[in-house]
């Protein structure tokens, strides 16, 4: 679970509280400040404050979002672009619109809620992390109805969460809860109405289904307007992230509006993607008209059926089944009808944006999807010219078919190569671990080396290291601490840890790399992608009835989608990672077993109990979903390693560490390290 680091959060609190004191009393409290206060209260076990601050954060987040939508739409109407405007007139409109938006938003939420919120906090709200804290807090406060709602809301966006799945089952079995309590507090109106309509349609309750489908359409178009309004703010794109981007004013403005168009085009994907899913529902918007045409036909409302069938054909011109339906409806009423104006307008605007995007992409060199995310679903049979209705089949559109990414050349899958070091013992291969490209090895480190690295970890690791200052990226029930090789070497130079221990960390990671490269018989060099000395510690008092994972099931180079049984190799996943390894320092703790699963993230195929010197290695793709069971007592420490076959993605800190080690070796004529060596940390560290 994502949790804000206490020290960073404290600084944020001071800054934002200062802003609050200098602002008007009626202004909106910043949601990131409230969120941080709630997390701190959670670790103090002050559950009333958790609820107060977290509910306030959710309310503030929603208010800021709606304020941006209202203000941007209002200012857009007040300061429209004239297609015939000259350059100076265009820039005048841009400035007036921007000033209008800032004044409008500030008037509603106050200055202190207009600051730029960190991307980490925004992602936590998108992933509904606040509801995980809320369900735990409400549970402690014995407010089971609210706990059930919070748990259900979180689970909708995190269906792979084993912990929440089990919590929901427990809530359902408890007295004082009923099915009405299991509501999705973040349900999007257009998706909620559509899903409810499908259920009624499947039960042949066509009259009520029509009401919900029509409501869903209205909500969809309203959500489309809001989504597009949210695209009107500042944009960030990769072409501005490097020094060689020499832009003129016109190029910058052009690139900005091209990115806005791209964002607006992606609203199609966003509105048809369910929470926690990676891919949109296929044919989402056209399906509304497909369901409606058949439902209206069943109620003998043929004119309405024809209008909806014609609307569907806007998206799928020439569709065989719908064309036959249209002919049937025309004959039945004796005349023709046009598609709905809203559908015509929507599709016409969408096609115009695609044309502009294709022009803009030539300037920005951005690869954009040409797909509309609506593809004919098929699955129906001819009924002797009696209108056919949808069977409701909706499936995911594979993202990998819509975007191209440059990946490392495929490797021939082999294993069983030399283990390089005489002491290393092969315990289980892929077959024994019930998978592909998996290996379990023992005695990669000695007992003495494990003890030395664990002592190093107690000094050099810091809470949240490696995860942008977050105390625990996966669960609030454990403390997470980590350190890189370069950081360990820096501490060694400063005399805060033995320099030979830092060198051992460096050497052990190289040992692991050589073993993985040799055992899997790779035909090219394996490079470090990221190296991390990490410890997870069970937090006392938070282990009762615990059933979550220390690290949820995931894959290392793709986005695991358990429901679709796919793993999408696209950002933000580390798509360049090819192999992974975990080298354990100890086994004197409870829980913490490493597990492999099927792609459903539930079926366990193999389990590894950590101990000193044991290493599990595997390829990083969707063939090897894995996770870590909860650490319920003690501390679990390991060296975590990720490797790449692409030298362009070598770990920068590792290259710097290589330079430090080389400098030390060059200056020392002895086999042992001398902490008195004259090394300038500003140059090397």
- pLDDT value at residue 236: 63
Q: What's the rounded Cα separation, in Å, for the pair 274 and 533?
A: 36
pLDDT bin (cut points 50, 70, 90) of residue 274 is: confident
- pLDDT value at residue 47: 94
Whether the predicted pLDDT of 462 surpasses 70: no
- Cα distances from 397 to residues 198, 373, 433, 574, in angstroms, run 20, 7, 32, 21
Residues 445 and 331 in one domain: no
Residues 570 and 646 in one domain: yes
| Domain final position from 364, 382, 404 | 364
Helix axes 31-43, 119-126, angle to 10 degrees: 80
Residues 441 and 331 in one domain: no
Residue found by looking up tokens 């005489």 in the block? 422
pLDDT bin (cut points 50, 70, 90) of residue 85 is: low
Q: What's the rounded Cα separation, in Å, for the pair 605 and 608?
A: 11
Strands (E), 515-593: 527-538, 549-554, 559-561, 566-568, 579-584, 590-591
Q: What's the rounded Cα separation, in Å, for the pair 628 and 640?
A: 13
Residues 586 and 479 in one domain: yes
Q: What's the rounded Cα separation, in Å, for the pair 36 and 15?
A: 12
- Cis geometry, peptide bond prior to residue 572 (ω within 30 degrees of 0): yes
Residues 6+ apart with CB under 8 A from 111: 19, 23, 27
Q: What's the rounded Cα separation, in Å, for the pair 125 and 86?
A: 41
Residue 237 lies in a domain: yes
pLDDT bin (cut points 50, 70, 90) of residue 447 is: very high
Residue 115 lies in a domain: no
Residues 522 and 623 in one domain: yes
| Domain final position from 339, 364, 389 | 364
Quote the mean pLDDT of the chain. 81
Residue 132 lies in a domain: no
- The first and second tokens of residue 163, run together, are 């912990």
Q: What's the rounded Cα separation, in Å, for the pair 132 and 3?
A: 11
CATH number, domain of 516, equals 2.60.120.620
Instruction: Give the percent of the chain with pLDDT over 70.
Output: 80
Residue 66 lies in a domain: no
Residues 347 and 461 in one domain: no
> Which residues does residue 266 pair with via DSSP β-bridges, in sequence order?
none
Residue 477 lies in a domain: yes
Most confident range, picked from 48-62, 227-241, 459-473: 48-62
Residues 617 and 480 in one domain: yes
- Cα distances from 15 to residues 108, 114, 464, 658, in angstroms, run 21, 14, 21, 39
Domain that holds residue 251: 233-364
Whether the predicted pLDDT of 680 surpasses 60: no
Average pLDDT over residues 565-586: 89
Provide the terminal-to-terminal Cα distance of the chain, rounded to the nearest Å. Answer: 31
- On whether the CB atoms of residues 161 and 552 are closer than 8 A, the answer is yes
Residue 144 lies in a domain: no
Residues 333 and 444 in one domain: no
Residue 78 lies in a domain: no
Q: Which residues are catalytic?
A: 636
Residues 359 and 448 in one domain: no
The helix (run of H) or strand (run of E) holding residue 344 is helix 341-364
Least confident residue range of 13-22, 450-459, 533-542: 13-22
Residues 480 and 334 in one domain: no
pLDDT bin (cut points 50, 70, 90) of residue 671 is: very low
Least confident residue range of 345-359, 455-469, 630-644: 455-469
Residue 476 lies in a domain: yes
Q: How many domains does the chain have?
A: 2
Most confident range, picked from 20-29, 320-329, 673-682: 320-329
The helix (run of H) or strand (run of E) holding residue 633 is strand 631-633
pLDDT bin (cut points 50, 70, 90) of residue 669 is: very low
The 3-class SS string of 51-90 reads: HHHHHHHHHHHHHHHHHHHHHHHHHHHHCCCCCCCCHHHH
- The first and second tokens of residue 479, run together, are 């403390």
Residues 358 and 449 in one domain: no
Residues 491 and 591 in one domain: yes
């Amino acid at each position: 679970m994502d949790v804000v680091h206490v020290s960073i959060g404290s600084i944020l609190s001071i800054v934002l509280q200062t802003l609050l004191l200098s602002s008007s009393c009626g202004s909106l409290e910043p949601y990131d400040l409230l969120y941080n206060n709630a997390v701190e209260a959670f670790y103090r076990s002050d559950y009333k404050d958790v609820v107060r601050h977290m509910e306030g954060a959710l309310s503030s987040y929603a208010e800021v979002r709606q304020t941006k939508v209202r203000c941007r739409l209002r200012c857009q109407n007040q300061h429209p672009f004239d297609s015939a405007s000259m350059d100076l007139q265009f820039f005048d409109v841009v400035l007036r619109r921007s000033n209008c938006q800032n004044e409008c938003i500030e008037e509603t939420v106050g200055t202190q809620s207009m600051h730029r919120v960190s991307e980490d906090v925004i992602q936590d709200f998108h992933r509904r992390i606040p509801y995980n804290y809320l369900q735990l807090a409400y549970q402690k406060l014995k407010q089971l109805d609210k706990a059930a709602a919070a748990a259900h809301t979180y689970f909708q966006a995190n269906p792979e969460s084993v912990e929440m799945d089990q919590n929901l089952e427990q809530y359902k079995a408890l007295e004082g809860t009923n099915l009405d309590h299991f509501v999705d507090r973040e349900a999007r109106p257009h998706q909620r109405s559509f899903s409810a309509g499908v259920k009624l349609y499947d039960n042949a309750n066509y009259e009520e289904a029509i009401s919900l489908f029509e409501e869903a359409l209205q909500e969809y178009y309203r959500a489309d307007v809001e989504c597009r309004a949210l695209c009107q703010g500042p944009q960030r794109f990769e072409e501005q992230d490097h020094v060689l981007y020499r832009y003129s004013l016109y190029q910058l403005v052009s690139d900005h509006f091209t990115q806005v168009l791209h964002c607006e085009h992606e609203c199609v994907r966003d509105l048809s993607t369910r929470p926690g899913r990676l891919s949109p529902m296929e044919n989402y918007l056209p399906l509304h008209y497909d369901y409606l045409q058949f439902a209206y036909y069943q109620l003998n409302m043929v004119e309405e059926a024809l209008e909806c069938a014609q609307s569907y054909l806007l998206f799928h011109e020439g569709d065989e089944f719908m064309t036959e339906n249209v002919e049937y409806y025309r004959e039945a009423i004796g005349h023709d009808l046009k598609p709905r104006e809203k559908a015509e307008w929507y599709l016409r605007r969408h096609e115009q944006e695609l044309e502009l995007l294709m022009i803009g992409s030539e300037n920005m060199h951005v690869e954009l999807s040409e797909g509309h995310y609506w593809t004919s679903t098929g699955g129906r049979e001819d009924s002797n010219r009696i209108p056919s209705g949808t069977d409701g089949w909706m499936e995911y559109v594979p993202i990998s078919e819509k975007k191209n990414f440059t990946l490392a050349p495929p490797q021939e899958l082999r294993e069983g190569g030399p283990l390089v070091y005489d002491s290393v013992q092969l315990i289980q291969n892929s077959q024994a671990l019930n998978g592909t490209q998996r290996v379990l090895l023992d005695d990669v480190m000695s007992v003495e080396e494990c003890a030395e690295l664990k002592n190093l970890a107690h000094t050099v690791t810091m809470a949240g290291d490696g995860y942008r200052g977050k105390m625990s990226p996966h669960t609030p029930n454990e403390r997470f601490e980590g350190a890189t090789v370069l950081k360990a070497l820096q501490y060694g130079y400063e005399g805060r840890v033995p320099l030979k221990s830092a060198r051992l960390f460096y050497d052990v990671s190289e040992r692991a790399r050589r073993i993985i490269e040799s055992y899997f018989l790779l035909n090219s060099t394996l490079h470090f992608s990221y190296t991390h000395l990490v410890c997870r510690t069970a937090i006392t008092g938070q282990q009762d009835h615990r059933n979550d994972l220390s690290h949820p099931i995931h894959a290392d180079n793709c986005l695991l989608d358990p429901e679709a049984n796919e793993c999408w190799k696209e950002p933000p996943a580390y798509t360049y990672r090819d192999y992974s390894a975990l080298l354990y320092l100890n086994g004197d703790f409870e829980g913490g077993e490493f597990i492999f699963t099927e792609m459903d993230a539930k079926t366990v195929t193999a389990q590894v109990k950590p101990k000193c010197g044991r290493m599990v290695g595997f390829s990083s793709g969707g063939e090897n979903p894995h996770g870590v069971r909860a650490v319920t007592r003690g501390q679990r420490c390991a060296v975590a390693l990720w490797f790449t076959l692409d030298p362009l993605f070598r770990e920068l800190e590792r290259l710097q560490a290589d330079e430090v080690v080389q400098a030390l070796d060059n200056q020392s004529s002895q086999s042992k390290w001398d902490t008195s060596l004259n090394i300038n940390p500003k140059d090397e560290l």
